[in-house]
Structure 1
Amino acid sequence: MKQLIVLVFTVLIFTQCSTTRVFNTDAATDATPASYKTYGFYEFTAAGDTNSATFQLRVEILKNVIKAEMNARGYQFVPTRPDLLINIGILVKQQIQTRQTNWQNDGRFTYMGQRNYTWKSEEIEVGRYKEGTLTLHIVETARNKMIWQGSMSGIVPEKPDTKNNTAGKAMKKLFEKYPFRAGVGI
């Protein structure tokens, strides 16, 4: 019985842990959600170091998971003249993971002459990773007014997840904060 409790507790801890953090979600108070039935995307332009071979693939993956979340809320995708336009903002930074050395594990004192022994702590690089921040702005096209914004950040996987598992889970977490459904009033 004790082992079963430990197993259940361990599973709960690992299923609740996520590298995605949702923040800065805000909905407009004057939105008219009953009038929104369709959506589309703003033209996506990129600047900076976006020449990676997987960049366009990753953008398409993001658009597909956003479409899945919007469709689940009753919206219909239309390429021209939608009720709502979605703007995607992406910022990706290369991060360096380091650790600090200590004299117990990482070395010995060095002799500097005349009985002067020294040891200096150093930062050692142990890995590199990319951290990304994604911001969505959903805009009512008739009034050109933003009705919702949400942001999330997390670690960008090395390889694109073509099955949309990682991006889908992260986008689902972000859209949990989206308060509207297609054609339904507040």
Structure 2
Amino acid sequence: MNAMRFDFRHVAVLLVALLLTACATGPRVRTDYDPSADFSRYRTWGFYKPIAMEESGYSSWISDRIKDDVRREMEARGYRYVESDPDLQVNFQGIVREKTDVWSVPRTDYQYFYSYRRRAYFAMPFWYDDTQVHQYTEGTLTVDLVDAERNRMVWTGAAIGRVTKRTPHERLAEVDKAIASIFAQYPYRAGSTVPVATD
């Protein structure tokens, strides 16, 4: 049997599945959009081909879960899924990076001196900054909405958090939370250009 070829993209998918547990309130979410896009034109959607997370040539249970979550979020906003010629195409990607935090903590210490005049030891305080370095892994899960006719991205959302060890069931729950957090910031419904309130 041939040994399995190491594929960084597959590892990245699994690592991103561990992410987004930095705080109790969930991941940090950032969004951006094309101000020239007419969102009232979009009523149908499909998945971009190939999906960036599956460029290695195969899917995983993580990418399948993301697809299910995306389908739920898009349908909740009135978009209809179609296999061919959709108005919008949804693409998603996971990226893992090593990060370093560096900060200073003020400290106080004492040096002791002997006074021959007083025939005793006395303490002299001094202050200094203690530099702390912490390395960690950060994962980013990005969802892009692409105008299919122009092949142009019109909206993007990213959930960012630290990668931590989780069980497979916990990883899937974190993926669900990440996709929900991203789409909570998407302000449009199908066929409408009027933004709705977001969290």
TM-score in terms of structure 2 length: 0.57
Aligned position for 1:39: 45
Larger Rg: 2
Contact conserved, 1:37 with 1:183, CA < 8 A, in 2?
yes
1:47/1:185 CA distance change after superposition, 3 Å: closer
2:86 paired residue among 55, 61, 82: 82
Give the aligned residue type for 1:179: P
Superposed displacement of residue 185, structure 1: 2.4
1:66 aligns to 2:70 (yes or no)? yes
Q: Deviations over 1:67-112 (max 9, x none)?
A: 111111111111221100111121134789xxxxxxxxxxxxxxxx
Q: Residue type of the partner of 2:27? A: T
Alignment of 1:52-131 (within 5 A): 56-93=60-97, 131=138
CA distance in 2, matches of 1:172, 1:37: 20
Distance 1:19 1:163 in 2: 13
C-alpha change, 1:45 and 1:79, in structure 2 (3 Å) is same
Q: Which amino acid aligns with 2:167?
A: K
User: Conserved in 2, the CA contact under 8 Å of 1:152 and 1:174?
Assistant: yes
**1:102 corresponds to which residue?**
none
Alignment of 1:139-158 (within 5 A): 139-156=146-163, 158=166
Question: Cα–Cα, structure 1 residues 56 and 27, in superposed 2: closer, same or farther, change >3 Å?
Answer: same
Decide whether aligned partners of structure 1 residues 164 and 76 sit closer, same or farther in structure 2, where only a CA change above 3 A counts: farther
How far has the Cα of 1:56 moved from its partner?
0.6
Q: Give the whole-Å Cα distance in 2 for the aligned partners of 1:34 and 1:46.
A: 28
Q: Which residue of 2 aligns with 1:160?
A: 168
Which runs of no fewer than 5 residues in structure 1 stay unpaired? 1-15, 97-122
Return the alpha-carbon distance in structure 2 between the equivalents of residues 29 and 93 of structure 1.
30
1:144-176 deviations in Å (ceiling 9; x for gaps):
221101111124563333895322222121112
Q: 1:95 to 1:27 in 2, by over 3 A?
A: closer
Q: Give secondary structure in 1 for the equivalent of 2:182.
A: helix
Matched residues in 2 for 1:183 and 1:91: separation? 32
Amino acid at match of 2:144: H
* Structure with more of its chain in strand, by fraction: 2
Question: What amino acid is aligned across from residue 158 of structure 1 in structure 2?
Answer: R
CA RMSD in angstroms comes to 3.3
Work out the CA distance in 1 between the residues paired with 2:150 and 2:143.
18
For the residues of structure 2 that align with 1:84 and 1:22, how far apart are their CA atoms?
21
Structure 1 Cα separation of the partners of residues 85 and 54 of structure 2: 26
Equivalent of 1:184 in 184, 192, 195:
192
